[in-house]
C-alpha cells in the first residue's frame, strides 16, 4: 500500500529555493492570501522533502529535539531541526535582544519557521548570537533545553485529560472506558450512524446558561478500565493520533488528509511518536516509544512515514490538552509559534 500523503524518504534530493519562493514579486502583485499560501507550501515542502532521518538513531535525536523545544510549536521545532541539526534554542533577532540582551552575529544562519500572523519569520540559534554589555547569564531553558521538567501532578493531569476529551468530542471523537485485552490500553475505530455526541458550553453574552451542541459521532475511542491517569492520557493520545494522522480517513480534508491506505507499521510508528512527543513536551522524563527503542536496538531503519503529518498532529493534540476550543476552531487549532 502507499500513503495518501507524500512519504518522508525515497524522494529525489530536495532543491527548494525558500528565499526565492518567499519573496513577493512586485510585478505580479500577488494577493496577501496567495503569498501566505505559497510561503506555507514552501515550508511544508521543506518538511516533506527532509532526507535526514534515515536511521532510528537520527530519528530518536529528532524526537529529543522536538520534545525539548517547548517554546516552539512541534512543526516549527521540526523545521529548525531539518535546517540545522543540533540547534539549541532559537528566537527572532528582536526577541534575543529583548529577552536576553543579545544580538545576532553577521555570519549567523537564519532559519525559516512559520509565523503566527504572517507566513514565515526568521530565527537564529543561540550559537549565532553574542551578548551586549551587561547581558545577564543565559537561563537553563536556553543553555540546556533538555533539562528535566517537573512531572505533571495528578490534578493538572486530570484537567489536561478533561480538556482533551472535550475537544475531541467537538471533532466527533467519542471516548469511553471498557474491557480490553490484557496487553491493550486503548483502541479506536471509525463509526457511522451512531448517536450524536453532546458537548456543553456556556452561552455568550454574560448569561450563565448552558448550551448543548450535538456533534456527529465519527470515531470511537475505548480506553481500558482501571488505567491510572498518566497511562490513560498516553493511551488517549495514541488513539487520537491515529485519527489526526488520517489513518481512519477524514471527515473533512481541511482538517487532515485521508491516509487510510498506509501500512500498519507506519500507523503505529506515527501514533506512538505523536503520543510520545505530546507527553514528553510536558514531562521530559518520558521515555522513547517502544517501536523506536526496538529499531535502535536492532539497528533498523524507520518506516516510510509522514513527518509533516506527525508534526501537525502533535501540535493539534498538544493544543487540545491546553485549552478549550470552540467547535468552529477545531480541526484548525494548531499553533505556529
Give pLDDT tens digits along the chain (337 positions): 333 333 332 233 333 334 333 333 333 444 555 555 665 566 666 666 666 788 888 899 999 999 999 999 999 999 999 899 989 899 999 999 999 999 999 999 999 998 887 788 999 999 999 999 999 999 988 998 877 565 667 788 889 999 999 999 999 999 998 887 767 888 999 998 888 998 987 766 656 677 888 899 999 999 988 888 888 899 999 999 999 999 999 999 989 999 999 999 999 999 999 999 999 998 877 888 888 888 888 888 888 888 889 999 999 999 999 999 988 888 765 444 4
Give the contacts of 292 (CB within 8 A, at least 6 positions apart): 56, 59, 60, 63, 269, 272, 273, 276, 302
Which set of grid coordinates corresponds to residue 120? 514565515
Picking from 198, 230, 229, 203, the residue whose alpha carbon sits closest to that of residue 215 is 198
Q: Is 124 helix (H, G, I), strand (E, B) or coil?
A: strand
Cα gap 42→23, rounded to integer Å: 11
- Helices 56-68 and 290-298, packing angle to 10 deg: 140
Picking from 107, 130, 68, 146, the residue whose alpha carbon sits closest to that of residue 138 is 130
Q: How many helices (H) and strands (E) does the chain have?
A: 11, 10
Q: What is the pLDDT of residue 9?
A: 27
Angle at 232 between CA 70 and CA 291, to 5 degrees: 70
Q: HSE of 2 in the Cβ direction (CA atoms, 13 Å)?
A: 6
Cα gap 271→273, rounded to integer Å: 5
Provide, for the chain, the percentages of residues in helix, strand and coil under a 3-state DSSP scheme, each rounded to the nearest 5.
40, 15, 45
Q: What is the pLDDT of residue 48?
A: 63
Q: What is the pLDDT of residue 41?
A: 60
Q: What is the pLDDT of residue 207?
A: 64
* Residue 125, strand partner residues: 90
Kindly report the pTM of this predicted structure. Answer: 0.81
Amino acid at each position: 500500500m502507499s500513503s495518501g500523503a507524500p512519504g518522508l524518504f525515497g524522494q529525489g534530493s530536495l532543491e527548494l529555493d525558500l528565499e526565492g519562493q518567499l519573496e513577493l514579486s512586485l510585478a505580479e502583485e500577488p494577493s496577501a492570501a496567495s503569498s501566505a499560501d505559497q510561503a506555507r507550501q514552501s515550508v511544508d515542502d521543506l518538511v516533506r522533502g527532509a532526507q535526514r532521518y534515515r536511521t532510528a538513531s537520527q530519528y530518536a535525536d529528532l524526537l529529543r529535539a522536538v520534545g525539548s523545544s517547548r517554546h516552539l510549536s512541534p512543526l516549527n521545532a521540526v523545521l529548525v531541526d531539518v535546517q540545522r541539526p543540533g540547534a539549541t534554542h532559537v528566537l527572532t533577532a528582536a526577541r534575543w535582544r529583548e529577552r536576553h540582551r543579545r544580538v545576532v552575529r553577521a555570519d549567523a544562519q537564519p532559519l525559516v519557521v512559520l509565523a503566527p500572523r504572517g507566513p514565515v519569520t526568521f530565527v537564529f540559534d543561540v550559537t549565532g548570537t553574542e551578548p551586549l554589555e551587561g547581558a545577564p547569564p543565559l537561563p537553563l531553558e536556553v543553555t540546556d533545553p533538555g533539562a528535566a521538567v517537573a512531572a505533571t501532578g495528578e490534578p493538572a493531569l486530570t484537567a489536561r485529560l478533561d480538556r482533551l476529551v472535550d475537544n475531541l468530542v467537538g471533532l466527533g471523537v467519542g471516548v469511553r472506558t471498557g474491557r480490553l485485552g490484557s496487553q491493550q490500553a486503548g483502541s479506536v475505530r471509525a463509526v457511522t450512524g451512531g448517536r450524536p455526541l453532546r458537548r456543553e458550553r456556556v452561552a455568550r453574552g454574560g448569561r450563565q446558561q448552558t448550551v448543548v451542541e450535538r456533534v456527529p459521532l465519527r470515531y470511537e475511542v475505548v480506553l481500558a478500565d482501571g488505567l491510572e491517569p498518566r497511562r490513560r492520557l498516553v493511551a488517549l493520545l495514541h488513539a487520537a493520533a491515529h485519527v489526526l494522522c488520517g489513518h481512519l480517513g477524514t471527515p473533512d480534508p481541511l482538517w487532515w488528509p485521508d491516509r487510510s491506505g498506509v501500512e500498519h507499521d507506519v500507523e503505529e510508528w506515527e501514533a506512538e511518536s505523536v503520543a510520545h512527543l505530546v507527553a514528553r513536551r510536558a514531562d521530559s522524563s518520558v521515555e522513547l516509544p517502544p517501536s523506536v527503542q526496538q529499531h535502535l536496538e536492532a539497528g533498523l531503519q524507520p518506516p516510510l512515514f509522514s513527518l509533516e503529518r506527525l508534526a501537525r498532529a502533535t501540535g493539534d493534540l498538544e493544543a487540545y490538552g491546553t485549552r478549550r476550543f470552540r467547535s468552529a476552531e477545531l480541526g484548525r487549532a494548531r499553533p505556529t509559534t
